Structure formats: structure tokens, C-alpha cells
Amino acid sequence: MTLEFLTGALVTMLVIVEPIALVPIFLAVTQGFSADQRRQVAWRACVIAFAILASCAFVGDWLLSKVGISLPAFRIAGGLLVFWIAFEMVFGLRANRKNEVARDAIDKEHIVNVAAFPMAIPLLAGPGAITATLLLAGQAEGRPALMATLVAVLAVVILISWICLQAAERVDRMLGTLGNVVVSRLLGIILAALAVQFVIDGIRAAIRAA
């Protein structure tokens, strides 16, 4: 049972988080950052995301029920946040702001903010990842061995994500300035579609639950 749970959980979380697909998005949202600043963002984002997902595994379902928030509502809210990020990427608003910030000193607080949002939430620990974590925790039914397995899976997925983000600078040099602009716009459109899908899924789930 533990091996079956381990395999299912690992595949599920890797498919949902998609560490490799996060690389171009990471480059877009950290445009104008130095290599060291990007490493700080990647590290902080991964730590924050792991803390969020691990916490959800233990208290997520209880917390949402206590504050009266349903999973469909959480998915809709996450979709709206992702759509705003996509909007900025498509119209170059995010790139312009990052360039302005780059001309000044980017302080520690700003790096922490970017790491927390949008990297940790909702890109690494998004509605899909949180929902999957809650469902897997439900399958574990509080059994210590399975809960420990779930936490280990979360750690492995986040570690893989961190490794992928560490390679982002190499991708950045390969793309160049024009390539980054094209990728940013293209990813913005894809991200917008993903955000709309989040909202649609949330609305469908809310209707079914009504």
C-alpha cells in the first residue's frame, strides 16, 4: 500500500506542479533580476511552497472548513490571481516594471515578495497542487507511514522544481533579449488560458456541489 501510494502521489504532484514548465515563467516574472537575486527567489519560493503544501497535508481541509471556504472557491480565486499575472506578461507591464526596478537597488523585501507571489503562490503551490495535496492526505487517512510518505513526495517534487529553476539562467542566456520577450508574451497567453481553466473548473465544481 505504501509503495502504491508513493508512486501515485509522486506522479500526481509532478504532473500538476510541472517543474520544467515553470522555468520560462520564472524567467518572465524575474525579468531584470541578477543571477544571485534569481537564486534567492528560487530558494525562498521553494521553501515557502513546501511549507504551504506540507501544512495543507495536515491541516488544510480542517482550516478551509473552519473558515467556510470551499475548494471550488479556492480554485476560482487562484485562477483570477494567475490571470492577472498573465495579463501583465502579455502586455509587457510586468517586464516594464521589472526593468524600472532593476535600475534601482532591488532590496531584500522585494525579492521575498516575488518569491512568495507569484512564484510560491500560485505557481508552485497553486490551487491544483493544494487540492491534490488535500486529496492525497485524505487517502492517507492520518496513518503515520502514509503521511510521512506524502511529505517526502512533496519534498522531492519541490527539490526537482528548485533544480529546474537553478538552470533558468542558462536558459536565459540561450534565449537572449528577443527570445525572452517572445517567450514572455507566449507564456502569458498560455497562463491566461490556464487561469480561465482554473476558474471554469472551480465554477463546475461549485455547481455540482450545490
Q: How much is the pLDDT for 105?
A: 39
Domain boundaries, the chain: 2-209
Residue among 158, 178, 176, 175 at smallest CA distance from 22: 158
Q: What is the pTM of this model?
A: 0.68
Question: Which tens digits make up the pLDDT trace of 67-113?
Answer: 777 767 867 876 787 687 678 777 766 555 544 544 443 455 555 67
Question: Which tens digits make up the pLDDT trace of 154-174?
Answer: 999 999 999 989 988 776 677
- Listed range (26-40, 101-115, 179-193) with the worst mean pLDDT: 101-115
Q: How far apart are CA 72 and CA 49, in angstroms?
A: 20
Contact 53, 130 (CB under 8 A): yes
